[in-house]
Amino acid sequence: HETNYKKTAEVFDVSYTQVYQWVKKYQSLGDDGLVDRRGQHKSEDQLSDIEILECKVKFLERQLKEKEMENELLKKVQEIERRRSSPRQRTKRNI
């Protein structure tokens, strides 16, 4: 069968390159090559050892950031409580 990338691109209002990529994927992978996999994550058994470690590092970095934010919040709360409980020393100003 004859493939006319330019005409197909015009019919579907996409670029010539996009049609070429679709055909290339279809020829190498069949129907499965045209499945949209954007936004889908690999299952843990599909990840390499390096990818698993990268995921763990990202998770631990997020946990660390959360703990740092939590500590900052607690410090601010303690400071507010300390200020409320301590007697204020007011000085008279000479005018």
Compute the distance between CA of residue 91 and CA of residue 95 in angstroms, rounded to an integer.
12
Asked if residue 16 lies in contact with residue 9, where contact means CB atoms within 8 angstroms, the answer is yes
Confidence of residue 67 (pLDDT cuts 50, 70, 90): very high
Minimum mean pLDDT range among 14-28, 36-50, 81-95: 81-95
Compute the distance between CA of residue 33 and CA of residue 21 in angstroms, rounded to an integer.
10
Q: Whole-number mean pLDDT of the chain?
A: 87
Compute the distance between CA of residue 38 and CA of residue 89 in angstroms, rounded to an integer.
63
Write out the two tokens for 45: 């058994």
Asked if residue 5 lies in contact with residue 16, where contact means CB atoms within 8 angstroms, the answer is yes
Write out the two tokens for 63: 């946990």
Q: 68-82, pLDDT tens digit by residue?
A: 999 999 999 999 999
